[in-house]
Amino acid sequence: MGSEALPVALDVSQSGQIDAMVSSTLQTYGRIDILFNNAGFGRLDWFEALDPIQDIQAQITVDLLGVMWTARAVLPHMYKQRSGHIINMCSMAGWAAPPLYSVYAAAKFGVRGFSEALRREAMPFGVHVSAIYPGSSPTEFQQHIGQNKAKKRFSTPRWLQVSSDDVARGVISLAKRPRRSLFLPRLMGLPTFINSHFASLSDRAQAKAFAPFHEEDMKNR
């Protein structure tokens, strides 16, 4: 489309590689206006079945610490120029955590809290901080979540799913008009409301729905 891109491969779990990416960007463009923290993955299974290193530690490192480390690397430059925008990819799991999402939800709840606190820190310096909360989207993410039968049984209804293009357009809209948060689709605000105001009902319904699958997996283990 006539624009210019600077691809830099990096692992967000390695702070040194993050610093190198920021340096490359500054050397090429002289400034950083927007950081979109989008790296992440999920391993969805019963908590006791998750591997402590490959599933638990790795998810927290990439999904939460990677977001924080990358934001920390660009903030001094944004503060110096008195402008900038950090957009953090969160998830509906950062508002309402269903079974199988224990570690992923913990990381995304962390991203949500981090975004809120950082927004208030950065505001006086002209730097915006936003969080985006999409529902299920057909991306590479689905290839890494595992093969749990309960997850396949209780997938997100199609009418609540969004395409990757929808998410991309949402990010662009945030970049053009910064605000605190964006839910995709907008109807995703409804599960959040139910989880917040009818928590006991939500607990019982989800526990009852997932319990048979959990029992079966425990017997087969």
Residues noted as catalytic: 104
- Rg of the chain on CA atoms, in Å: 19
3-state secondary structure the chain: CCCCCCCCCCCCCCHHHHHHHHHHHHHHHCCCCEEEECCCCCCCCCHHHCCHHHHHHHHHHHHHHHHHHHHHHHHHHHHHHCCEEEEEECCHHHCCCCCCCHHHHHHHHHHHHHHHHHHHHHHHHCEEEEEEEECCCCCHHHHCCCCCHHHHHCCCCHHHCCCHHHHHHHHHHHHHCCCCEEEECHHHHHHHHHHHHCHHHHHHHHHHHHHHHHHHHHHHC
